[in-house]
Amino acid sequence: MLTDKAPAGLQDHLGYWLRLVSNHVSAAFARRLDGQGVTVAEWVMLRELHGAAPLPPSRLADRMGMTRGAISKLADRLLDKGLLARTADPDDGRAHTLSLTDAGCVLVPTLARLADQNEAEFFAILTAAEKEAVEAALRRVVAHRGLTGMPVS
Amino acid sequence: MLTDKAPAGLQDHLGYWLRLVSNHVSAAFARRLDGQGVTVAEWVMLRELHGAAPLPPSRLADRMGMTRGAISKLADRLLDKGLLARTADPDDGRAHTLSLTDAGCVLVPTLARLADQNEAEFFAILTAAEKEAVEAALRRVVAHRGLTGMPVS
DNA sequence: GACGGCTAGTTTCCTTGTCAACAAGGAGGA
DNA sequence: TCCTCCTTGTTGACAAGGAAACTAGCCGTC
């Protein structure tokens, strides 16, 4: 064979386990949300707007780690579902703001409950101390590398 | 406002931090791979085939957590790049097997080095004990929930 | 040996994201 | 004022994966 000696296996990387678990958590959550006719990205946007002042799309793009183009289309879909409103900024002719409709506001707590269930179900085997330790470690990585804006996919 | 009391924030969920870090690790790795003209999914397939017997696409689909359709197209792309060979099974007229070309074999260690660098750079702030703890916790989640087949995206 | 059902891979269509081009509006300087 | 440059949001072309239809080949049963 034309190979060097075998390199480190995928499973030797922390990144592998992170992604394995993370993807499964997301996939399971997506299945739950599916029953409510909502995607994960839509949930994130709804959550981002819930209980907050109306936000311009560009701000959401930053916070959600997506491009403005993606936000624009995502907003369109939520608009079609009647969960979101798009309002022109009276002061700046270019700007718009996005906010939840009443239906959107009502829906969020339901979805949040699904998120809680998903979280609980997945990490049930871990003790509180373990969860704390993992979260603390991840927070340190985030802080140290200045990570910001969750890429939705 | 028409809301319940505010639900738990996204950042109160372990899943949030998992995905935030995981996505950034993947994105950073993708940028590194980009210099080699390879995507993350392609890397995973190459890695999966490296130093192993030729595998049928269906087997890769299981191991990589993708559909057979996706594997089919992914294999096409790697074929075009000359990194992979598709061979008809002489015993079973339906079956094929995928294996690395010499070029593919040669490339994998280079990519593996990039993966190692990425891993090291991201988790440099964590002590060995912390990394161990996180990995152990994640492994327990995986074992307990019977997670298998890393969904590539 | 032919037929109904299975299995392996591929292909088609749909979704959802990125990137780049674009239109429209604002802001500042000559 | 008018010109230039920047910013905001949208749109169109493309990429990549999932679901399901489709093709081809196997296999057990009659």
Give the tokens for residue A89: 């900024």
Taking CA atoms, B121 is separated from A86, B26, B29, in Å, by: 41, 13, 11
A44: chain B residues, CB-CB within 8 Å: 10
| Every domain of chain A and the residues it spans | 14-144
> Quick one: which residue's CA is nearest to D11's C1'?
A69
B2: chain A residues, CB-CB within 8 Å: 102, 105-106
pLDDT digits (tens, 9 = 90+) for B85-127: 999 999 999 999 999 999 999 999 999 999 999 999 999 999 9
How would you write chain B as a 3-class SS string?
Answer: CCCCCCCCCHHHCHHHHHHHHHHHHHHHHHHHHHCCCCCHHHHHHHHHHCCCCCECHHHHHHHHCCCHHHHHHHHHHHHHCCCEEEEECCCCCCCEEEEECHHHHHHHHHHHHHHHHHHHHHCCCCCHHHHHHHHHHHHHHHHHHCCCCCCCC
Our measurement of CA A40 to C1' C10, in angstroms, reads: 30
Give the tokens for residue A64: 């959600």
Our measurement of CA B33 to C1' C6, in angstroms, reads: 40
For domain B12-145, the CATH class is: mainly alpha
- At B90 the pLDDT is 95
**What gap in Å lies between CA A47 and CA A49, rounded to an integer?**
5
Half-sphere exposure of A1 (CA within 13 A, CB side): 16
In CATH terms, A14-144 corresponds, of 1.10.3210.10, 1.10.10.10, 3.40.50.720, 3.10.129.10, to 1.10.10.10
**B152 nearest nucleotide via C1' and CA:** D17
pLDDT digits (tens, 9 = 90+) for B39-91: 999 999 999 999 999 999 999 999 999 999 999 999 999 999 999 999 999 99
ipTM: 0.89
Q: Is the pLDDT of residue B12 over 60?
A: yes
Report which secondary-structure segment, H or E, holds A86: strand A84-88
**What gap in Å lies between CA B26 and CA A151, rounded to an integer?**
10
- At B2 the pLDDT is 42
